[in-house]
Amino acid sequence: MQEQGDAASRHTPVMLDRCIDLLAPALDHDGAVAIDGTLGMGGHTEGILERCPKARVVGIDRDPQAIALASQRLARFGDRFIAHHAEYDDIAGALAAAGATHADGILLDLGVSSLQIDDAERGFSYAQDAPLDMRMNPEDPVSAADLLRDADERELTRILREYGEERFASKIARSIVRRRETAPITRSAELVDLVRACIPAATRSPGGGNPAKRTFQGLRIAVNRELEVLERAIPAAIEGVGVGGRVVVESYHSLEDRIVKRAFASGAESQAPPGLPIIPEADQPYLRLLTRGAEKASAEEAESNPRSKPVRLRAAERLRPTPPERLRRNA
């Protein structure tokens, strides 16, 4: 493993300037608190601390290696940075760590981090042979190899179809179950070979990348319960910012973006029937959208940092507290 001090050289944060531009207006006051819910190697947090000198940042990550790397990188900011080892839906825990009742800005940069992809032994990458682990938190009980060994064909099909959006999910699941009758699938190269054999060459688009990409995505999401955590994290983030606070989210595939879009749209739209002369308090919007649809990285950034290509960025500002009736509806 590389030295911890080289986090900055190993990671280029995606759409850093745009994220900070969106957060900065809410962080320009004494005592401002920001939460970086997906700390990773600390690139976004470093940018916030440099450009928003009045703010403190609580960085959340479930990966203890990421906490260690980022903490060393951000040591120069002293007590303006606070590390919080948890899943990123623990907004309440992050606020408690900062001694705050609400945040002024929350950033979520979703998906797998550069740290996890680049460390071959973590088993996230289909491009390098390694043990099939894929746990963002190594203390979690179930690895990808465990899932491939224990899940039945129906469950494997569901995971690959729903989370990986894999067209050949049932064929791949059937092949996994048949293969494990003689030997468990424990390494990434074994899984790549199996998937490649299941996908007809004629259906692969030129330049479409490794045919195992969607299978690996589906397994990773299942192992880390990513969509379950996100379903909790987005409402927690919205409720975790005070009036005038901002929530910025970077998604990397349609499943994530759909959850974010739905939550932001619900808060930004009136729930009253059209034509009412006065909109009841409970039906008025409590969010204002700061982006028109989902923003993407510039062509220049996509070329210099290929991991930015699939990003979809959305942001919203809190206009007022969420009416209790809306909270009950959203629960």
pLDDT value at 331 more than 70 = no
Q: Report the side by side order of strands in the sheet with 241-251.
A: 81-85, 55-61, 32-36, 103-109, 241-251, 312-318, 287-289
**Residue 146 annotated in ligand binding:** no
Does residue 61 have a known ligand-binding role? yes
What does the DSSP 8-state code read for residue 78? Answer: G
How far, in Å, CA of 190 to CA of 186, rounded? 7
The pLDDT of residue 81: 98
Taking only Cα atoms into account, the Rg of the chain, rounded to an integer number of angstroms, comes to 21
What are the structural domains of the chain? 4-115+226-330 (3.40.50.150), 141-223 (1.10.150.170)
Query: pLDDT (tens digit, 9 = 90+) per residue, 100-136?
Result: 999 999 999 997 766 666 666 677 788 889 999 999 8
Is 164 marked as binding a ligand? no
Provide the 10 A C-beta neighbour count for residue 193.
Answer: 13
40 marked as binding residue: no
Would you say 193 is a known binding-site residue? no
Residue 6 marked in a binding site: no
C-alpha span between 289 and 311 (Å, rounded)? 18
User: Of 75-79, 164-168, 269-273, 301-305, which gets the smallest average pLDDT?
Assistant: 269-273
CA separation for the pair 304, 266 (Å, rounded): 35
Q: What beta strand segments (E) does 157-205 contain?
A: none
Look at residues 156, 296, 127, 306 and name the one whose alpha carbon lies nearest to residue 223: 156
Residue range 253-269: mean pLDDT, rounded: 95
Q: Answer yes or no: is 99 a known binding residue.
A: no
pTM of the model: 0.89
